[in-house]
Protein backbone atom coordinates (compact mmCIF):
# COMPACT_ATOMS: atom_id res chain seq x y z
CA UNK A 1 0.00 0.00 0.00
CA UNK A 2 1.13 3.54 -0.62
CA UNK A 3 0.66 6.52 1.65
CA UNK A 4 1.51 10.18 2.00
CA UNK A 5 1.89 12.22 5.17
CA UNK A 6 1.70 16.00 5.32
CA UNK A 7 2.43 16.62 8.99
CA UNK A 8 1.39 20.27 9.08
CA UNK A 9 -2.24 21.29 8.66
CA UNK A 10 -1.17 24.90 8.20
CA UNK A 11 2.04 26.78 7.50
CA UNK A 12 2.31 30.51 8.13
CA UNK A 13 5.04 32.59 6.54
CA UNK A 14 5.66 36.28 5.96
CA UNK A 15 5.75 37.59 2.41
CA UNK A 16 9.28 37.57 1.05
CA UNK A 17 10.45 34.81 3.37
CA UNK A 18 11.27 31.30 2.19
CA UNK A 19 8.62 28.64 2.61
CA UNK A 20 8.67 24.88 3.05
CA UNK A 21 5.71 22.52 2.98
CA UNK A 22 6.61 19.05 4.17
CA UNK A 23 5.70 15.69 2.67
CA UNK A 24 6.83 12.14 3.41
CA UNK A 25 5.72 9.08 1.54
CA UNK A 26 5.63 5.30 1.56
CA UNK A 27 5.43 3.26 -1.64
CA UNK A 28 6.61 -0.02 -3.12
CA UNK A 29 9.25 0.35 -5.78
CA UNK A 30 10.35 3.65 -7.23
CA UNK A 31 8.18 6.63 -6.34
CA UNK A 32 6.50 9.06 -8.67
CA UNK A 33 5.84 12.20 -6.63
CA UNK A 34 3.63 15.20 -7.37
CA UNK A 35 2.66 18.50 -5.83
CA UNK A 36 -0.67 20.15 -6.52
CA UNK A 37 -2.16 23.47 -5.41
CA UNK A 38 -5.84 24.21 -4.82
CA UNK A 39 -7.31 27.69 -4.72
CA UNK A 40 -10.80 28.31 -3.28
CA UNK A 41 -13.63 26.85 -5.37
CA UNK A 42 -11.18 25.45 -7.91
CA UNK A 43 -9.79 22.06 -8.79
CA UNK A 44 -6.26 20.91 -8.03
CA UNK A 45 -3.59 22.38 -10.28
CA UNK A 46 -0.39 20.50 -11.07
CA UNK A 47 2.76 22.25 -9.80
CA UNK A 48 5.64 19.82 -10.31
CA UNK A 49 6.67 16.20 -10.29
CA UNK A 50 9.61 13.95 -9.56
CA UNK A 51 10.10 10.88 -11.72
CA UNK A 52 13.82 10.28 -11.81
CA UNK A 53 17.05 12.23 -12.13
CA UNK A 54 17.97 15.36 -10.22
CA UNK A 55 16.72 15.47 -6.67
CA UNK A 56 15.78 19.13 -6.99
CA UNK A 57 12.78 19.59 -9.23
CA UNK A 58 11.61 23.00 -10.47
CA UNK A 59 7.97 23.70 -11.24
CA UNK A 60 5.41 26.41 -11.83
CA UNK A 61 5.24 29.82 -10.11
CA UNK A 62 8.80 29.58 -8.75
CA UNK A 63 8.16 26.48 -6.68
CA UNK A 64 10.64 23.66 -6.35
CA UNK A 65 10.77 20.40 -4.45
CA UNK A 66 13.60 18.33 -3.06
CA UNK A 67 13.44 14.55 -3.28
CA UNK A 68 15.27 12.70 -0.51
CA UNK A 69 15.22 8.95 -0.96
CA UNK A 70 16.78 8.05 2.38
CA UNK A 71 14.26 10.17 4.28
CA UNK A 72 11.40 9.30 1.89
CA UNK A 73 10.56 12.98 1.70
CA UNK A 74 9.54 15.38 -1.02
CA UNK A 75 9.30 18.84 0.53
CA UNK A 76 7.93 21.77 -1.45
CA UNK A 77 9.93 24.99 -1.29
CA UNK A 78 9.97 28.53 -2.58
CA UNK A 79 12.75 31.06 -1.91
CA UNK A 80 10.45 34.06 -1.52
CA UNK A 81 6.74 33.67 -0.68
CA UNK A 82 4.00 35.83 -2.18
CA UNK A 83 0.62 36.59 -0.66
CA UNK A 84 -0.90 35.05 -3.79
CA UNK A 85 0.74 31.71 -2.87
CA UNK A 86 -1.80 31.34 -0.06
CA UNK A 87 -3.70 28.17 -0.92
CA UNK A 88 -4.08 24.48 -0.08
CA UNK A 89 -1.18 22.26 -1.16
CA UNK A 90 -1.34 18.53 -1.75
CA UNK A 91 1.45 16.03 -2.09
CA UNK A 92 0.71 12.81 -4.01
CA UNK A 93 2.54 9.58 -4.75
CA UNK A 94 2.26 6.49 -6.87
CA UNK A 95 4.55 3.53 -7.35
CA UNK A 96 5.99 2.21 -10.60
CA UNK A 97 3.77 -0.86 -10.69
CA UNK A 98 1.57 0.46 -13.46
CA UNK A 99 -1.48 1.31 -11.36
CA UNK A 100 -2.37 4.88 -12.32
CA UNK A 101 -4.09 5.95 -9.14
CA UNK A 102 -2.40 8.59 -7.04
CA UNK A 103 -2.55 8.64 -3.26
CA UNK A 104 -2.94 12.17 -1.94
CA UNK A 105 -1.91 13.61 1.39
CA UNK A 106 -4.36 15.43 3.62
CA UNK A 107 -3.24 18.82 2.42
CA UNK A 108 -1.41 21.77 4.00
CA UNK A 109 -2.89 25.22 4.07
CA UNK A 110 -0.27 27.86 3.32
CA UNK A 111 -0.97 31.31 4.65
CA UNK A 112 1.37 34.09 3.51
CA UNK A 113 1.04 37.26 5.52
CA UNK A 114 1.76 40.67 3.93
CA UNK B 1 -6.64 23.74 -24.90
CA UNK B 2 -9.81 23.31 -22.91
CA UNK B 3 -9.33 21.73 -19.54
CA UNK B 4 -11.49 19.13 -17.82
CA UNK B 5 -15.07 20.34 -17.82
CA UNK B 6 -17.52 19.37 -15.11
CA UNK B 7 -21.20 20.11 -14.82
CA UNK B 8 -23.08 21.26 -12.94
CA UNK B 9 -20.80 23.40 -10.76
CA UNK B 10 -23.32 23.35 -7.95
CA UNK B 11 -26.16 20.95 -7.19
CA UNK B 12 -28.62 21.17 -4.33
CA UNK B 13 -31.21 18.46 -4.04
CA UNK B 14 -33.29 16.63 -1.50
CA UNK B 15 -32.46 13.32 0.05
CA UNK B 16 -33.66 10.39 -2.00
CA UNK B 17 -33.33 12.11 -5.35
CA UNK B 18 -31.10 10.87 -8.14
CA UNK B 19 -28.01 12.97 -8.82
CA UNK B 20 -25.95 12.84 -12.01
CA UNK B 21 -22.58 14.53 -12.29
CA UNK B 22 -20.93 14.96 -15.67
CA UNK B 23 -17.37 15.21 -16.88
CA UNK B 24 -15.67 15.90 -20.19
CA UNK B 25 -11.98 14.98 -20.05
CA UNK B 26 -9.21 16.64 -22.00
CA UNK B 27 -9.12 15.40 -25.56
CA UNK B 28 -6.52 12.67 -26.05
CA UNK B 29 -6.36 11.66 -22.42
CA UNK B 30 -6.72 7.92 -21.85
CA UNK B 31 -7.39 7.96 -18.11
CA UNK B 32 -10.30 9.45 -16.20
CA UNK B 33 -10.61 9.65 -12.43
CA UNK B 34 -13.46 10.55 -10.09
CA UNK B 35 -12.62 11.94 -6.63
CA UNK B 36 -14.63 13.15 -3.67
CA UNK B 37 -13.36 15.87 -1.31
CA UNK B 38 -14.69 16.49 2.18
CA UNK B 39 -13.28 18.23 5.23
CA UNK B 40 -13.41 15.04 7.25
CA UNK B 41 -11.97 12.56 4.76
CA UNK B 42 -9.91 14.75 2.44
CA UNK B 43 -9.53 13.71 -1.19
CA UNK B 44 -10.74 10.19 -1.94
CA UNK B 45 -10.42 8.30 -5.22
CA UNK B 46 -13.77 6.77 -6.14
CA UNK B 47 -13.11 5.10 -9.48
CA UNK B 48 -10.91 5.39 -12.53
CA UNK B 49 -11.17 4.39 -16.18
CA UNK B 50 -8.64 3.56 -18.86
CA UNK B 51 -9.83 3.78 -22.45
CA UNK B 52 -13.42 3.96 -21.20
CA UNK B 53 -13.11 0.74 -19.15
CA UNK B 54 -13.41 0.88 -15.34
CA UNK B 55 -10.12 -0.30 -13.82
CA UNK B 56 -10.57 0.20 -10.09
CA UNK B 57 -13.86 1.00 -8.39
CA UNK B 58 -12.81 -0.02 -4.90
CA UNK B 59 -13.31 3.52 -3.66
CA UNK B 60 -16.97 3.68 -4.59
CA UNK B 61 -18.65 3.91 -1.20
CA UNK B 62 -21.86 1.98 -1.81
CA UNK B 63 -24.06 0.46 -4.44
CA UNK B 64 -25.88 3.77 -4.56
CA UNK B 65 -22.91 5.10 -6.53
CA UNK B 66 -22.30 4.19 -10.14
CA UNK B 67 -20.05 5.58 -12.86
CA UNK B 68 -20.00 5.15 -16.60
CA UNK B 69 -17.84 6.24 -19.48
CA UNK B 70 -19.76 5.58 -22.70
CA UNK B 71 -17.09 7.22 -24.87
CA UNK B 72 -13.73 8.92 -24.66
CA UNK B 73 -15.19 12.37 -24.17
CA UNK B 74 -17.84 11.85 -21.52
CA UNK B 75 -18.30 10.28 -18.11
CA UNK B 76 -21.03 10.36 -15.48
CA UNK B 77 -21.15 9.68 -11.77
CA UNK B 78 -24.59 8.86 -10.49
CA UNK B 79 -25.92 8.65 -6.95
CA UNK B 80 -29.28 6.99 -6.46
CA UNK B 81 -30.79 7.48 -3.95
CA UNK B 82 -28.81 10.40 -2.55
CA UNK B 83 -28.24 10.91 1.18
CA UNK B 84 -27.06 13.95 3.20
CA UNK B 85 -23.69 12.25 3.86
CA UNK B 86 -23.01 12.33 0.12
CA UNK B 87 -22.61 16.10 0.35
CA UNK B 88 -19.10 16.91 -0.88
CA UNK B 89 -17.17 18.36 -3.77
CA UNK B 90 -16.76 15.83 -6.56
CA UNK B 91 -13.82 16.20 -8.91
CA UNK B 92 -13.09 14.63 -12.24
CA UNK B 93 -9.51 14.41 -13.51
CA UNK B 94 -7.89 13.06 -16.65
CA UNK B 95 -4.38 12.15 -17.75
CA UNK B 96 -2.53 10.82 -20.75
CA UNK B 97 -1.52 7.21 -21.03
CA UNK B 98 1.97 6.11 -21.87
CA UNK B 99 4.67 7.07 -19.41
CA UNK B 100 3.83 6.63 -15.75
CA UNK B 101 4.74 10.14 -14.73
CA UNK B 102 1.88 11.90 -16.50
CA UNK B 103 0.14 14.35 -14.16
CA UNK B 104 -3.59 14.38 -13.65
CA UNK B 105 -5.53 17.46 -14.72
CA UNK B 106 -8.52 18.34 -12.57
CA UNK B 107 -11.82 20.01 -13.33
CA UNK B 108 -13.20 22.68 -11.01
CA UNK B 109 -15.56 20.22 -9.36
CA UNK B 110 -19.24 19.89 -8.57
CA UNK B 111 -20.29 21.07 -5.14
CA UNK B 112 -23.10 18.74 -4.11
CA UNK B 113 -25.44 19.46 -1.23
CA UNK B 114 -28.04 16.89 -0.22
CA UNK B 115 -30.70 18.30 2.08
CB A25 within 8 A of CB A5: yes
Coarse DSSP helix, strand, coil percentages of chain A, rounded to the nearest 5 percent: 5, 50, 45
Is residue B87 scored above 70 in pLDDT?
Answer: yes
Nearest-CA distance B54 → chain A (Å):
12
Bridge partners for B45 per DSSP? B35
Is residue B1 scored above 90 in pLDDT?
Answer: no
Q: Label residue B36 by pLDDT band (50, 70, 90).
A: very high
Select the residue from B32, B38, B101 to test the A interface by mutation, using most A Cβ atoms within 10 A.
B101
Select the residue from B6, B31, B42, B43 to test the A interface by mutation, using most A Cβ atoms within 10 A.
B43
Q: Determine contact: B98 vs chain A, CB below 8 A.
A: no
Backbone phi, then psi, for B85, in 5-degree steps?
Answer: -70, -5
Pairwise CA distance, residues A93 & A31, whole Å: 7
Q: Determine contact: B54 vs chain A, CB below 8 A.
A: no
Q: What is the pLDDT of residues A23-34, one digit of tens each?
A: 999 998 889 999
CB A88 within 8 A of CB A107: yes
User: How many other β-carbons are positioned within 10 Å of the β-carbon of residue B85?
Assistant: 11
How much is the pLDDT for A98? 62
Amino acid sequence: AQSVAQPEDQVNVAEGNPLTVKCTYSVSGNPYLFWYVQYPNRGLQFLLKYITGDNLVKGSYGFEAEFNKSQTSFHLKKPSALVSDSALYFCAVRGDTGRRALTFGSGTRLQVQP
Amino acid sequence: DAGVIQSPRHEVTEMGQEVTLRCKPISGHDYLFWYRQTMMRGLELLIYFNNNVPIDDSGMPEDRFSAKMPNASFSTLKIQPSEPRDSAVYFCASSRGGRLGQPQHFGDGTRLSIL
